[in-house]
Amino acid sequence: MEWVEIIEPRTKEHMYANLTTGECVWDPPPGVSVKRTTDNQWWELFDHKTSRFYYYNAATQRTVWHRPPNCDIIPLAKLQSSRPSSGGGGSVSAMTGTGTQTCSTSPPLAQLSAQQQQQRKVRRGTSHGGWYNRHGKSQDSGRSSDSSTLSLSKRSDKLGSSAGSGPLGGSSLTSPLRGTPSSGRRPTLDPPPLEFGIGSTASTPLSSRKKGSGGSSGGGGGGLFRKNLSIRDMLSWSKDPIRKPMLPLEDKTLKKEACDLFKLVQIYMGDRKCKPGMTCNSVALELCNHAWNKPALRDELYLHVCRQTTENPRKESLRRGWELMAVCLYFFPPSPKLEPYLDGYINRHRDPGLNFTEVQVSHYATISCRRLMRIGAAGRRHERKPTLEEIEQARLQIFRPSMFGNTLEEIMMVQRDRFPHRKLPWIQTTLSEEILRLQGAQTEGIFRVPADVDEVNSLKNRMDQWELCPVSDAHVPASLLKLWYRELYESLIPDELYQDCVQYCADPERAVAIVHRLPEFHRLVLSYLIRFLQIFSQTEVSSVTKMDASNLAMVMAPNCLRCNASDPKVIFDNARKEMAFIRTLIQHLDTSFMEGVV
C-alpha cells in the first residue's frame, strides 16, 4: 500500500497521500492502486512533545493514545516528517484545528491549467478553519499543560471571517494536524483533543460557565473557573475539601452530596482522616452506592478521581486513587458525554513511562480502560449493584483476573500457566464434575431450583482463587455454572450467529452446522455443555430430576444466546426459538468427539 485516500472531515474533500514518499496531491494518481478510506480507518500520527504515537478517526473525529483493535491503521506519521522537495515538489502542508487538510500539488503551480489553479485556490480559501486567521497567524489553543489537558480556549473576536468555523467556534481542537497552506510550514501535531461538555446538567463547555454556576474551594463568586483560578488548578490534586461541585448541579441536595463525595474520595485515598470503623471497602461501598442510587453524581465522582490522580505528590494516595477509578468502573459507567474525556484521560496513563516504583499507574489505567470499554455506551456489560463482597472482588481482580465476566479467550489465558495443555476452561469442567459428584443427576429440579445466594457467592470467590470449597448441595455448583455461562462477556454463541440460530431452531441439520461454524473455543465449550446436558436428558435420569430436554433447554438457553432486540414482542418470540435451538442440539448433536477432552 503506497497511496491512500484522505477525506477531510469538515469539507469532505478528497486528497491522496503517498505513504512512501510523503507526496500529497488533490487528484488520484493515474495507473496506481489507491486505498480508499472507511469509517473503520484510523490515522497513526506522532506527537513530538511526548514522543508517542496516537490515533485519529476522521469519521468520528475521535483521538486516542492507544492503538485501536480490529481496524484499519493508516501510518500517516510518515507524512509528518516528510520535507518539501527543493524543486517545488509536493509536501504535506497541514490540517487545521477544525479538521481541514490542505496539500500542495506535486507539479509546480505554473504547470497547472487555469481551471486547476482556480480549484486549488478555492480549496485553499476554505482551509483555514478555527486555528489560523486570514493572515496565517496561529491562535493559541488555550490548553493546559497538565495530564488532564482540556481544549477550553475562548473564541477570539479578532479572528477573520474564515476563523472560528469549527464546531465550537474554533475553541476546540477536533483534528490532529494543523498548519496553513500558504505559510509553507511543515505540519505540527498536538496531543489528542478532549472537548468537555458533560452530562445533561453540564452541556455547556466549562470555559463558558457563568458566575454562580458551580465552584470549588475558596470563597467568593465567579463560578468554577474564576479569573484567579486556572483550569490546571481545578483539575489537579487538592488536600482541601471543595465548597461547590465541579459540575453545575441544579439540585441543592445534590450540590451538598457532591462536596461530601469529594471528602469520601479523599478519605479513600488517605488524604483525609477517616471516622472510626471505616475501611477501604466500606468507604468504596459508600461512594459507589451514592453514585449507583443517584446517577447525576457519577460524572462528579469520576471527575473527583481524575482531579485527585493528577499531579498527586503522595504515591500511596495516587495508587488508591487509580484503584478507586477501577473499582467504580466495575459497577457503573460515566455519562455518554463524559465517557470520551474519561477514556482519553485513562488512556493517556497507560504509558509505562508514567509508572513509579511504588505505583504501577499504567496497569491500573489498562484495567480501568478495559472496564470502561465494556461497561460504557458501546459495551455489553450491564451495571451491577455494589455490595461489600463485590467491592472486594473489584479490587482484587485488578491484579488477579477473574474467570467470570471475561471472554473465553481471556479465561484460557488466565489458566495457561496452571494448565497449559487444557483445551477447556478449568472452571467449566470442575463445576460440571462437582455437580455429578454431588448426585446432581438424582436431584429433582437440578439447574431449575436456585441455590442459596451466599453459598454461590462464596463458591465463586473460592473458584476465582483456584480453590473448590466443600459444598453438600448440588444446586450450588449448578447455579454457579449457569452464572459463569451467563456472565461471559461474549455469549457462548456469538451475536453474528444469533439470527441463524432462531431461524433454524427446529432444523437439526442446520442447527448442527451452526455449531461447526463457531470459533474453536466456543465450539468446544458449547459441545462440552451439550454433552453434559445429554446426560441429564436421558429418560432414567429425567424421570428423577424432572428435567427433560425441553426443561433443560428452557433454563440453559438464556445463558448461551443473547437477544439484542429492544421490542418486547421480539424478545418473547425469540425466547421460544432459543429454547428450541438448544433442545435441538441436546437431541441431535453428536458429541462423541468430546470424549476425554478437558
Which pLDDT value is given to residue 108? 36
The amino acid sitting at 528 is Y
Distance, in Å, from the CA atom of 503 to the CA atom of 577, rounded to the nearest integer, reads 8
Query: What is the average pLDDT value for the chain, to the nearest integer?
Result: 77
H-helix or E-strand containing 46? strand 41-47
DSSP 399-431: TS--SSSS-HHHHHHHTTTT-TT-SS-HHHHHH
Nearest CA among 273, 275, 288, 274 for reference residue 325: 288
Quote the percentage of the chain above a pLDDT of 70.
72
Q: pLDDT (tens digit, 9 = 90+) per residue, 312-368? A: 999 999 999 999 999 999 999 999 999 999 999 999 999 898 899 989 999 999 999
Q: What are phi and psi of 308, to 5 degrees?
A: -75, -10
CB neighbour list of residue 389: distance below 8 Å, 6 or more residues apart: 457, 461
Report yes or no: 59 and 72 within 8 Å, Cβ to Cβ. no
H-helix or E-strand containing 47? strand 41-47
Distance, in Å, from the CA atom of 595 to the CA atom of 11, rounded to the nearest integer, reads 62
Q: pLDDT (tens digit, 9 = 90+) per residue, 422-479? A: 999 999 999 999 999 999 999 999 999 999 999 999 999 999 999 888 899 999 999 9
SS3 178: strand
Which pLDDT value is given to residue 11? 66
Q: pLDDT (tens digit, 9 = 90+) per residue, 84-132? A: 433 333 333 333 333 333 333 333 333 344 444 444 444 444 433 333 3
Q: pLDDT (tens digit, 9 = 90+) per residue, 362-410? A: 999 999 999 999 999 989 899 999 999 999 999 999 999 999 999 999 9
Place of cell 491549467: 113
Q: Strand 41-47 to strand 52-57: parallel, antiparallel, or no bridges (unpaired)?
A: antiparallel
Q: Strand 177-178 to strand 52-57: parallel, antiparallel, or no bridges (unpaired)?
A: unpaired
Which pLDDT value is given to residue 593? 92
Report yes or no: 471 and 438 within 8 Å, Cβ to Cβ. yes
Distances (CA, A) of 59 to 127, 187, 513, 568: 18, 21, 38, 33
Nearest CA among 277, 292, 487, 259 for reference residue 386: 292
Beta bridge partners of 484: none
Establish how many alpha carbons lie within 13 A of residue 492's alpha carbon, considering only the half-sphere containing its beta carbon. 26
Q: pLDDT (tens digit, 9 = 90+) per residue, 225-278? A: 333 445 555 678 999 999 999 998 888 999 999 999 999 999 999 999 999 999
Which pLDDT value is given to residue 110? 36
Distance, in Å, from the CA atom of 117 to the CA atom of 128, rounded to the nearest integer, reads 18
Report yes or no: 34 and 27 within 8 Å, Cβ to Cβ. no
Report yes or no: 96 and 13 within 8 Å, Cβ to Cβ. no
Which pLDDT value is given to residue 96? 32
Domains annotated for the chain, with CATH where assigned, are 1-195 (no CATH), 206-396 (1.25.40.530), 411-594 (1.10.555.10)
Angle at 295 between CA 294 and CA 297, to 5 degrees: 80
Q: pLDDT (tens digit, 9 = 90+) per residue, 563-578? A: 988 899 999 999 999 9
| Set of cell numbers at residue 351 | 504509558
Beta bridge partners of 6: 15
The residue with greater pLDDT, 514 or 82, is: 514
Q: Is the pLDDT of residue 510 over 90?
A: yes
Which pLDDT value is given to residue 197? 36
The residue with greater pLDDT, 98 or 586, is: 586
Report yes or no: 361 and 258 within 8 Å, Cβ to Cβ. no
**pLDDT band with cut points at 50, 70 and 90 for residue 80:** low
Q: What are phi and psi of 140, to 5 degrees?
A: -70, 140
Which pLDDT value is given to residue 413? 92
Q: Judge residue 360's burial from the number of C-beta atoms within 10 Å of its C-beta, 0-12 exposed, 13-18 middle, 19 or more buried.
A: middle
Which pLDDT value is given to residue 22? 67
Place of cell 446436558: 533
Distances (CA, A) of 234 to 155, 174, 238, 311, 520: 21, 23, 9, 12, 51
Q: Is the pLDDT of residue 224 over 70?
A: no
Question: Is the sign of the CA dihedral 553, 556, 560, 562 positive or negative?
Answer: positive
